[in-house]
Amino acid sequence: MRSFSLWASVVLFFLSHLLAAAQEHSARDSNTRDRTRLAAGETDASNAGPCTDRKLARYRASPNSTGETVEGGVCAEAAPVNTLRNFIYISTTITQTAGPSPGSIFPASGQLPQFSRLPGGQPPLTLEELEPLVQQAEAALRMRQDDNRAAASKLEDVLARLKEFIVHSDERVLGGNFKSLVTDIERQKEAVDSASGDNLKWHNTDDILKNIHSPQNALGNIAVTSATQDRVKVLKSRLDDLESKALQQASGSDQAKVVGVKNGLLRYWSGVLGSFLEPGDSMPKDPATKFVVHQDIPCPTVFNVNRETAVKLTVGDRLPFFDGQLMSTQIRDAFVIVKCTSPFSLSAGVAFSFIEQREFAIQPTPAPSGGTTVNKFGYSSRSSINPVPLAMAHMRIYEWDKHRYALHGSFGVGVNVQGTNGGGSSAEYLPGLSLSLFRTMYLTAGVSIAKQADLAGFAVNAEVPATVTSPPIRTSYKAGAGFAITFTKP
C-alpha cells in the first residue's frame, strides 16, 4: 500500500507539471500572437483583414490553392487577395453575393447653384429691355457650357486614370508591393475626391432656363408692328435656340444623367479607396493587412462527431462598373478544408500493472529433522510488474502546439491471462490521464485495478494437509499503479 501511495504521488506530480507546462505554453503563444497583432495594427471588421480570434490557430493559404486540409478549429486566411479590384466574400457555404452596386447611390444630377433671377421681378414690356437680357442669357449659357465641358473632361480623365490603376493592381498585389500600392491609393483618392461630390464643377442649366422663359413670356405680350416685326422675329429665334441648347444640360437630360452616373461612380470608388486608409485618410501601420480576408472556423463541442468545413471565396470583379455593367462574380473551389475530429478516440497497446501477480504450487520441502520431505505451499511464479494487452478509450480535454500534444481522460480494459493456480484469467482496468503525441501515440498513467490471487485459509510455507491435492486459491481486486503505451489505428 505504501508503494501504491508513493506511485500515486509521483503520477500526480508528473501530471500537475504537465498541465502547468501546457498552460504556460498556451499563454506564451497567446502573448506572442497579441504582440504580433498589435504590431500589425489589426482591427475587427467582419471577414476583412487578418484573423482576430485569439482562441483559434491561424492558418494562411493562397486563394489559388485547392484541397489543402487542416485540423480545426482554425482561423483560415486567404492572402494575398486584390481587395482593391475585387469585392471578396469568404464563407463556409457556397454563396453568390452581389457586390455593392453604385447605381443605388447615383444622383440624377449634381447639387447645383441657382443662376440669379432677372431683376425687377416682372417681365420687361419693351424690346429695348428684352435685348440686353437675351444677351445676358446667351453669355451665361456659353459660360456654363464651357465650365461643364471642362468638368466633364476632368471626370473622364479621372475615371480613365483610376481604371488604369485598378487594372494594373493585380500584379502589384501578387508582387507584395503593398506599401507603395496603398500610397498610390491615397493619391488616387485625393484625385477622386477633388473631382466628385461637392467639388463637382458640372452644373445643370435649370437656372438659365428660368431666365430664358421670362423673356419668352414677355415677348409674347409685345404688340408687333411693321417696324418691330423683324426685331421680334430675331429675338424669338435667339430665345428658341437658347432654350434648345439649355435643355440639353437641364435636369433629367441625357447629359445630366451621364454626368450623374460618373459622379456616383467616383463617389463609390472614393469609399472603396478609403477602406484601405485609416480614419483621416492616413496610411495604415501595416498595409499588407488590407489585402487579407479571413474566416473563423471553430470546432464546436459535439458528441463523437467528425466535421469537415470547406472554405470558399466568392470574388466579384468591380471593373465592369466603369463600363456601366453589373459586377461579375466567380465562386472558386475550396482553398482549404478544415477538419474537426471527434474528442473521443480509441487505441490499443500494452499496459504495465504494478500489482504483484503470483501463482501458487505445492512444493516438496525437506523436513527440519531430516528424513522424508513434507509438502508445503509455495510460489510457482511471482512478478511485481505484469504486462497486459489492452484497449483504451480517450476523451480529449486540452491540446496545444498545433495539435501536436493533447491531454485526455482515459479508460482501458485489458485481459490478465493467468493459470488456474493464479486465479485464472480476468479483466483488468486502467483509468487515468493520457498524453498523446500527434494524436497517434498515447502515454497513460493511472490506477491499475486487477485481480490478485491468494491462498484460501493457508499461508505460504504452511504444510499441506494430506487431503489437499492442489492449492486452494481465492482472488480479489486490488488497486495499484499502472502505465500504458497505446497507438491509434494507422
Strand 441-455 to strand 426-437: parallel, antiparallel, or no bridges (unpaired)?
antiparallel
pLDDT of 46 above 70: no
The whole-angstrom separation of Cα 172 and Cα 194 is 25
Pair 333, 246 in one domain: no
Name the more confident of 139 and 88. 139
The confidence score (pLDDT) of residue 366 equals: 79
Give the C-alpha separation, 430 to 484, whole Å.
8
User: Is 479 within the bounds of a domain?
Assistant: yes
* Structural domain contains residue 279: no
By C-alpha distance, which of 480, 450, 366 is closest to 2? 480
In a domain, 416, yes or no: yes
**What is the distance between the alpha carbons of residues 391 and 120, in angstroms, rounded to a whole number?**
106
Quick one: which of 441, 218, 425 has its CA closest to 350? 441
| Strand ranges for 54-206 from DSSP E | 57-61, 69-71, 74-78, 86-91
User: Both ends of the chain: CA-CA distance in Å?
Assistant: 39
| Residue 79 Cα distances to 44, 108, 176, 225, 401, angstroms | 17, 39, 10, 82, 23
| Cβ(179)–Cβ(287) below 8 Å | yes
Average pLDDT over residues 398-424: 88
Distance separating alpha carbons of residues 155 and 171, to the nearest angstrom: 26
122 has a pLDDT exceeding 70: no
Average pLDDT over residues 27-31: 42
Checking if the pLDDT of 413 tops 80, the result is yes
Average pLDDT over residues 216-220: 85
Q: Is there a single domain that holds both residue 128 and residue 175?
A: yes
Q: If you search the block for the grid coordinates 479571413, which residue do you land on?
A: 294
Q: Are residues 125 and 265 in the same domain?
A: yes
179-199 burial code (b ≥16 CB/10 A, e <16): eebbebbbebbebbbebbbee
Same domain, 235 and 319: no
Per-residue pLDDT tens over the stretch 269-301: 999 999 999 988 888 999 999 999 888 888 876
User: What mean pLDDT comes out for the span 459-482?
Assistant: 87
- Residue with the bigger pLDDT between 111 and 338: it is 338
- Please check whether residue 433 is in contact with residue 446, taking contact to mean a CB–CB distance below 8 angstroms: yes
| Sign of the dihedral defined by the CA atoms of residues 462, 468, 469, 473, in that order | negative
- Average pLDDT, whole number, for the chain? 80
Give the pLDDT of residue 474: 87
| Contact status, residue 120 vs residue 136, Cβ threshold 8 Å | no
Backbone angles phi, psi at 434, to 5 degrees: -120, 145
Buried b (16+ CB within 10 A) or exposed e, 399-408: bbeebebbbb
How does residue 1 score in pLDDT terms, banded at 50, 70 and 90? Answer: very low
**DSSP labels for 327-373?**
PEEEEPPPSEEEEE--SEEEEEEEEEE-S-EEEEEEEEEE-TTSSSE
Judge if 214 and 124 occupy the same domain: yes
Q: Is the pLDDT of residue 26 over 80?
A: no
Q: Are residues 193 and 80 in the same domain?
A: no
Task: List the one residue out of 252, 247, 218 whose CA is nearest residue 235.
Answer: 218
Same domain, 129 and 210: yes
423 compared with 19, residue with greater pLDDT: 423
Q: For position 67, what pLDDT does the model report?
A: 64
Give the range of the structural domain holding residue 257, as residue numbers without chain letter. Answer: 110-274
Nearest Cα neighbor of 256 from 301, 292, 209, 216 is 209
Q: Which has the higher per-residue pLDDT, 99 or 148?
A: 148
Whether residue 83 lies inside any domain: the answer is yes
- Mean pLDDT across the stretch 170-184? 92
List beta partners, residue 396: 408
Mean pLDDT of 385-400: 92
| Assigned domain for 285 exists | no
Is residue 426's pLDDT more than 80? yes
Instruction: Give the end of a domain, one of 315, 340, 365.
Output: 340
| Predicted confidence (pLDDT) at residue 166 exceeds the cutoff of 90 | yes
pLDDT, greater one: 86 or 99: 86
Cβ-contact 329, 99 below 8 angstroms: yes
Same domain for 268 and 120, yes or no, is: yes
| Cβ-based neighbours of 431, under 8 Å, separated by 6 or more | 410, 411, 412, 446, 447, 449
Q: Domain count for the chain, please give it.
A: 3
Q: Worst-scoring range by mean pLDDT, 105-119, 145-159, 247-261? A: 105-119
* pLDDT for position 274: 93
Residue 301's pLDDT is 64
> Highest-confidence range of 25-29, 66-70, 123-127, 162-166, by mean pLDDT?
162-166
Residue 38 lies in a domain: no
Distance of CA 313 to the CA centre of its chain: 11
- State the Cα–Cα distance between residues 309 and 94, nearest whole angstrom: 11
Distance between CA 185 and CA 183 in Å, rounded? 5
pLDDT score of 10 more than 90: no
| High-pLDDT (> 90) share of the chain, % | 37
Tell whether the model's pLDDT for residue 115 goes beyond 60: no
Q: Do both 361 and 463 map to the same domain?
A: yes
Q: Using CA atoms in the order 299, 303, 305, 311, what is the torsion angle rounded to 10 degrees?
A: -20
148 assigned to some structural domain: yes
4 is a domain residue: no
10 Å CB burial of residue 377 (0-12, 13-18, 19+) is: buried
Same domain, 329 and 348: no
Q: Which helix (H) or strand (E) holds 149?
A: helix 127-167
Q: How confident is the model at residue 112 (pLDDT cuts 50, 70, 90)?
A: very low
pLDDT surpassing 90 at residue 377: no
Q: What is the mean pLDDT of residues 435-455?
A: 92
Q: Is residue 418 domain-shared with residue 441, that is, in the same domain?
A: yes
* Predicted local distance difference test score (pLDDT) of residue 106: 35
Instruction: Look up the pTM and report it.
Output: 0.61
Asked if residue 361 has pLDDT above 60, the reply is yes
What does the pLDDT look like over 434-444, one tens digit per residue?
999 988 999 99
pLDDT exceeds 90 at position 360: no
Picking from 209, 222, 233, the residue whose alpha carbon sits closest to that of residue 123 is 222
Query: What confidence score (pLDDT) does residue 101 get?
Result: 34
Q: How far apart are CA 429 and CA 198, in angstroms?
A: 81
Reply yes or no on whether the pLDDT at 2 is more than 90.
no
Q: Could you tell me the pLDDT band of residue 371, with boundaries at 50, 70 and 90?
A: low
Residue 318: CB atoms within 10 A of its CB come to 20
Is the same domain home to 350 and 420?
yes
What are 19's three cell numbers?
498541465
